[in-house]
Structure 1
Amino acid sequence: MKRIAANYIYLSVSEIIRNGFLQIDEEGKVAAIGSLDVTGEIAGTRFLDGVILPFEPRFSEEEQRLDLFDVLNSQSKGRPAPDSADGFWLLHGVSLANRVAGAGWKVARLDNFI
């Protein structure tokens, strides 16, 4: 099992997990999703700076001036969370204090970091 953690895991409008993790089995399937207990065992967890998403975000020119989570909310509607790691993406490269969509963010498939 591998565990990948990030500042946020964005699953849907109503499910944003701060200090979240994905636990991935040997076949690449997601075995668990949750929030890290910073007082408990975190050995073997790979930490990534950014937001893990269950879809590839794309920012239009108009969206690039809007709040990041507002844009993600509109893009996530009707999308089920994937059951394998290759369906997740990492939005990274800019401080999360800068929550403007498209403002220097980089997007990569999560399986590139596993």
Structure 2
Amino acid sequence: MRAELTRKYGRLANLALARHFGLTLPPDLQQPLTDFASGRGISAIPQVVTLLDQADAHATEYHFFHWELEFPEVFFDQHGHALGEQAGFHAVVGNPPYVNAVATINFKHHS
């Protein structure tokens, strides 16, 4: 069930985020796009399917990651209500890009 919800809302999140990466959504198609992507519409015109496919392609190309979908327990309570100011992580630990760090250190050292 969680995988199905993540896939469905992931397409909506991809659609919203792809707009910031150059995907243009015609205003008259925003509701049909939302309805079809969320499963509220059982059929769609070809343009809607094409736009959703383009949004998914942007997600793959730019490696979209939707924190709220991957970690819902951090952003929503047990009833699905947003936690607002209480949501999120206290810290995020990651592996920095050491190649860039070394290049930066060497550049600064030689300047």
Q: Verify same fold: TM over 0.5.
A: no
Choose between structure 1 and 2: higher helix proportion.
Answer: 2
**What's the TM-score bracket when you normalise by the shorter of the two chains?**
under 0.3
TM-score (norm 1): 0.25
Rg comparison, structure with higher value: 2
